[in-house]
Each structure stands twice: as C-alpha cells, then as structure tokens.
Amino acid sequence: MNKNGILLALVSVGLAAGLAAYVRPGAQKRKGPQGEAKLLKGAEVAKEIREDIKKEVEELKAAKGITPGLVTILIGQNPASESYVRAKSKTAEELGYFSIQDSQPDDISEADLLALVDKYNNMPEIHGILVQLPLPKHINEEKVLLAILPQKDVDGFHPTNVGKLLIGNANFLPCTPYGVQELLVRSGTPLKGAEVVVVGRSNIVGKPIAAMLMQKCAAGNATVTVCHTATKDVTFHTKRADVLIVAAGVAEYIKGDMVKPGAVVIDVGVNEVGKTAAGKRKLKGDVAFEECAKVASAITPVPGGVGPMTITMLMKNTLKAAKMANGIDV
C-alpha cells in the first residue's frame, strides 16, 4: 500500500472511531453488560411531579376557587392497606386537596358499601373515589368498582375507563401503569419501535401497561409482548426485550440470565420475604436485583422505584377529574 493509501486508511479508522464515540445531545449513555445499571428512582421523579401538581392546585384555587377532592375508602384492618391509604391521604393533604379517609369495619355489608359509594358519587366536592382493594370475600369487588361513577374513578378500573384506554382516548390511566410509563418517558427510554415485554397479565398492571405502550403516541408506539403463566418459554421473550416490565407477583422471578444486555428493567413487584431484627418488613421485587443490575442499562429498585409513582399518578388523575367536573380543558 502506498503512502496515500495508508493515510486514507488511517483517516477512515479515525472517522469510524469518532462516530462510534459520538452521543447525540440529550441522549442518555447506557452502560454495557457487566456494568452498573442506572437506577430509575421513582421517588425522585414523583417529587418533581408533585411539585408541579401543587403549583397547579394553588393556581386552580386562586383563579377558580376549585379544590380537588379525594375520598379513600378502607374496609377492615389490613396493615399494608392501612399504610397505603394513610400515604394517599397524607399526600393529598400536602398537595392542598380536600381529603377524606373513610375507614369501615371488615364486616360491612355489600349493600352498605354500595350506599357509601353512592353517597360520594353525589358529593360535588369529591372528584375522585378510591376503594382500597382487596375487599373482604363477602363483597363483590366488580360490583363495587362498577358503582363508582366513571368520571370519579381516579384508579382507572371502571370498564368505561378501561375501554377508553384501549381505544387510546383514556380519561384516567390506572395509576401504577401510568407511573411506569412516566418513568420510562422521563428517563429518556426510547419507546418507538422498541421491543417491550410485560411479564404478568393482571387487570391492574399487565394488561393496561401493554395497551398503553402499544398506542400510537409519543409515550408509546412500542411492539408489546405479554408473558403469563401459560407462556411456554418466558426467557425466550424476556431475552429479546429492550424494555422489560415485570409484574408477576413472585419474588425475584426474573434472573440475570433472562435479561437482554442493555435492557431497561422495570420491577413492579413488592413481596414481603420476612422481617428485620427491628420488626420491619423485608421487601423484594419480582426481579433479582443484584443479578439483573449487572446486565441491564437501567433498573428500578424495590422499594423506591415504581411504588412512589403510583400515589403521585393518583393525585394527577384526581386533579384532572376536578378540572373535568368544572368544564376546564385538560
């Protein structure tokens, strides 16, 4: 090779190296396999969203005299449910909402619970109604959820709202999937054309997040696969996922060798696996965190990942319900 050929080869190699090292402005650098995954901390994102909500509530009160109103109905004394409802009520009050926590005994009749829901349906100062699940076995959950007016169903579980979600015209998105979607968007995770695999097909998480991410919109446009208990080879699907969302209800179900190198992993699971010496609950997600963090580019921790987003998106839905009830564009 003559001198000119050698010079051209060197220039070509240098140009290729430069292009390989280039990261477009605003793009997020992702760690490769065996690197340390970026933590997607829902608590931090939730704090930012709540600050925006609080500011909007203050403006709504000042300009229109409107205060968003939320009632949470708790049946019985399930410790986890009690803790969750307290957190919801506390957050609502911090944001300047009118908040009611209505606790009822676990032997309340179905008829009395339905009457209670109807009471709040007819209270104009209440814009959102949330009945904490699960309910006692003698109460039909579906009947109770159907009793909530769709325009006050800030949990997004009423069949009317589920149907509107499916056709891409949702009033209220279910809070946990909404939080997952917001985490993905705010972390800069590419979704258009991405291979998204959802493990779990529950009505609360799996089905709605699949429907949301396949919608033709900026926060969707993904190709979505849903795995469930009858899926023959879950690993086959999870290994090709650019984004892996796990809501299986099984502690550490997803192992490191089930994750595609560089994938974004969202762990929705919260499983109690014991107690600490101080009596506090030990929690594990549905993902084996230490293993998967070595393979993934980004991952949510448990706790502190998806959990804080759920309550925040409930507050966002309630604010939207208050605007809708007063004819304000949303």
- Best CA proximity match to 36, nearest among 299, 256, 252: 299
Question: Does the active-site annotation cover 155?
Answer: yes
Two tokens at 107? Answer: 């032997």
For residue 150, count CB atoms less than 10 angstroms from its CB and return exposed for 0-12, middle for 13-18, buried for 19 or more. Answer: middle
Question: Does the active-site annotation cover 282?
Answer: no
Active-site option among 152, 153, 155, 215: 155
Active-site option among 101, 132, 181, 215: 132
Q: Helices (H) and strands (E) in the chain — how many of each?
A: 11, 11
Q: Is the peptide bond before 134 cis (omega within 30 degrees of 0)?
A: yes
Distance separating alpha carbons of residues 222 and 212, to the nearest angstrom: 9
Question: Does the active-site annotation cover 132?
Answer: yes
CB 225 within 8 A of CB 237: yes
Place of tokens 């039909």: 140
Return the amino acid letter for 255: K
Which residues are marked as active site?
Answer: 88, 132, 155
